[in-house]
Chain A
Amino acid sequence: MDKDLVIIGGGPAGLAAAVAAKEAGVNDLLILERDNKLGGILNQCIHNGFGLHTFKEELTGPEYAARFIVRAKELEIPYKLETMVVDISADGDAKIVTYMNREEGLVVVRAKAVILCMGCRERSRGALNIPGYRPAGIYTAGTAQRYVNIEGRMPGKEVVILGSGDIGLIMARRMTFEGAKVKLVAELMPYSGGLKRNIAQCLNDFDIPLLLSHTVVDIKGKERVEAVVIAEVDEKSKPIPGTEQEIKCDTLLLSCGLIPENELSNALGVEMNRVTNGPLVNESLETSVPGVFACGNVLHVHDLVDYVSEEATQAGKKAAEYLGKSEAVNAGGDKKIVIKAVDGVRYTVPSIIRLDHMEDRQVVRFRVGAVYKKVAIQVLAGDKEIMNLKKQALAPGEMEQVILRKSVLESIPDLSEVTVRVKTD
């Protein structure tokens, strides 16, 4: 089978990318989704808080997804469900996408362009630093979310949550609503990895304690979890002897962060960013393999689906542009500007800007590595300051952005490097 554009993953990123590409004139496209419905992780996020930016109203996950699914159906965008992509490789300019499903078996598609929208999965290995036996009753927060919200069954009655990522916070409230007793949330770091509003409305509202600088050091119980032992940790995250307390519970949820799902990107050999575990991309959200684009959680972990949709729309448009142009134009852009993330800024997306392909305004998203109060985000073009944004507070849990203007970058001769940093002085 030949296709102009194949989109891998039918979550919010895949849907928005497909809609944008189709609207920009790409007719020969296909979404491949391994689940039995479109919408991705949003189907299990039944809480509200989605879409304030995009739709100016607060929707739940399934409602937000439905808006895009309706749009994709209006545009008659073809998709296949229960279809898993198992490999991508490059053959000259063509991308060879291999997928599998029950009706067709193994199928090979030759695509001119591909958009990677596989989302992310939860970190589970390494989250629990306890050797030995694992009784039943330990789940990642996202798995528990799927059990409760899709399958309608409760993992347990007395719950301790390790890690204060958003999924853990949301699940603290969800389990409370379903009649469970959530004893506490323990967070290894001295700050929470989740959004402040989720601490307020999911923990504080129900008097669930959040213990910062705490971790689980032991799990009691043979067949099933009977209790966990938590302890305070020092600056080096080492448990402090004498601070242990035993908490009776039958369930331990792990909410220790997300990692982009990039087995396929790795198989294809795209260059990866070691900080995000996602592909390195340029201004068009194109990876190091020409014609392969990435957006959403597969690129870098987002907390807000609105930004996922925005990013994916850009990827869809750029893929359409790529398909509409000759090779010479696509290869163009000798003038490469590298974006460097330093002094507290952990990474940026994109990390390369080709001036020839840049739009008038370029959104650059990033995260910081620690909590900062009363600082500034400084952007330097070469060694000239082009932006200085005062910030009351910055935290690793919240994605930040700056908007670069093409006219500004063009006005600086021989520009090869832009730096984004946290200015603390």
Chain B
Amino acid sequence: MTETKEFTCIRCPLGCQVVATLEDGKIVSITGNTCPRGAEYVTNELTDPRRIVTSLVKVTGGSQPVASVKTASDIPKGKIFECLDALKSVELTAPVRIGDVVIPDVCGTGIDVIATSNIQ
């Protein structure tokens, strides 16, 4: 059975519309991507969709009550909310520096959550 699936590539702001053609669930062609990262993105979306998660954690003793954080690289899409839950119980003490590890190996993904802002 042949089917086509359309995706918006999110790897850069161009946002190409990428179309994957599947034959019995296997990818036979990928079109519409401007660069190879688009094909890689669609292949991942069909097999193991991942996202970088950005959020906040509490900070005490700093110039502002929250510090921004991100996953150092993308984590499985299905683990986004588990990761956010884990962040809720974290409380940092100022100062916070960009790159500080906030949670190592978050939810067993092998990926660290790191700070993305400097809080004095």
A304: chain B residues at CB < 8 Å are 13
Complex CA gap A6/B22 in Å reads: 59
Q: In the complex where A152-B58, A304-B13 touch, is A48 in contact with B8 (Cβ < 8 A)?
A: no
Mark contacts of A188-216 with chain B using CB atoms, 8 A cut-off: 1 yes-contact digit, 0 otherwise: 00000001110111001100000000000
Task: Please state if A196 and B15 are interface contacts (CB–CB under 8 Å).
Answer: yes
Complex CA gap A398/B15 in Å reads: 10
Residue on B nearest A52 in the bound complex, by CB: B12
Does B118 lie at the interface of the complex (its beta carbon under 8 Å from any beta carbon of A)?
A: yes
Q: How far is the CB of B14 from chain A (nearest CB, A)?
A: 8
Question: In residues 1-60 of chain B, which contact A (Cβ within 8 Å)?
Answer: 7-10, 12-13, 15, 17, 51-56, 58
B55: chain A residues at CB < 8 Å are 46, 177-178
Mark contacts of A34-57 with chain B using CB atoms, 8 A cut-off: 1 yes-contact digit, 0 otherwise: 001000000100111100100000
Residue on B nearest A173 in the bound complex, by CB: B54
Q: In the complex where A62-B117, A149-B66, A205-B77 touch, is A197 in contact with B52 (Cβ < 8 A)?
A: no
Q: How far is the CB of B70 from chain A (nearest CB, A)?
A: 6
Task: Please state if A58 and B52 are interface contacts (CB–CB under 8 Å).
Answer: yes
- Return the contact of A46 from the options B54, B58, B65, B118 (Cβ within 8 A): B54
- Return the contact of A62 from the options B7, B10, B17, B116 (Cβ within 8 A): B116
Q: How far is the CB of A216 from chain B (nearest CB, A)?
A: 26
Q: How far is the CB of A350 from chain B (nearest CB, A)?
A: 23
Task: Please state if A195 and B15 are interface contacts (CB–CB under 8 Å).
Answer: yes
Interface size, B (range): 20 to 34
Task: Please state if B8 and A199 are interface contacts (CB–CB under 8 Å).
Answer: yes
Q: In the complex where A149-B66, A205-B77 touch, is A60 in contact with B116 (Cβ < 8 A)?
A: yes
Task: Please state if A196 and B64 are interface contacts (CB–CB under 8 Å).
Answer: no
- Return the contact of A66 from the options B9, B52, B58, B98 (Cβ within 8 A): B98
Q: In the complex where A60-B54, A60-B116, A66-B98 touch, is A46 in contact with B68 (Cβ < 8 A)?
A: yes
Q: How far is the CB of B55 from chain A (nearest CB, A)?
A: 5
Does B84 lie at the interface of the complex (its beta carbon under 8 Å from any beta carbon of A)?
A: yes
Complex CA gap A304/B13 in Å reads: 8
A199: chain B residues at CB < 8 Å are 8
Task: Please state if B52 and A48 are interface contacts (CB–CB under 8 Å).
Answer: yes
Complex CA gap A59/B116 in Å reads: 9
23 examples of A-B residue contacts, CB within 8 angstroms: A36-B63, A43-B117, A46-B54, A46-B117, A47-B54, A60-B117, A66-B98, A148-B56, A150-B64, A152-B58, A152-B64, A152-B65, A177-B53, A177-B84, A178-B55, A196-B8, A197-B8, A197-B9, A197-B15, A200-B7, A204-B8, A205-B77, A304-B13
For the complex of A and B, 7 pairs with smallest distance between CB atoms: A196-B15, A46-B68, A152-B66, A200-B8, A62-B117, A152-B65, A197-B10
A residues apposed to B, CB below 8 Å: 36, 43, 46-49, 52, 58-60, 62-63, 66, 148-152, 177-178, 195-197, 199-201, 204-205, 303-304, 398
